[in-house]
Amino acid sequence: MDRSTAIDRLPEAYAAALRLQDEGHDDKAIAARLGLAPTAVGPLLRVAAAKLHKILAAADEGKLSLNTASSI
């Protein structure tokens, strides 16, 4: 599974934050686009990255089902 497909499986807030980061936006710009405090972006991205890693690892192990992402 590629990164983009895995990001699509995340809850929207996490997916949006990662997509904005991938586009080169800094924390301040991500915060403004998502309506968050700039200090909330770092923790949001860390959780999003951890969840993304879990999805990618599960996919690599062949354990990812269509319902797996909803429990992540």
Question: How many domains does the structure of the chain reveal?
Answer: 1
Q: E strand or H helix at 33, and its extent?
A: helix 27-34
Distance CA 19, CA 3 (A): 10
The per-residue pLDDT for 62 is 82
CATH number at residue 63: 1.10.10
Q: Among candidates 42, 48, 36, which has minimal Cα distance to 10?
A: 48
pLDDT lower than 70: segments of the chain: 64-72
The per-residue pLDDT for 69 is 52
Domain that holds residue 56: 3-71
**Inter-residue contact 37 to 4 (CB < 8 Å):** no
For the entire predicted model, the pTM comes to: 0.83
The per-residue pLDDT for 60 is 86
- Residue 41 half-sphere exposure, CB side, CA atoms within 13 Å? 20
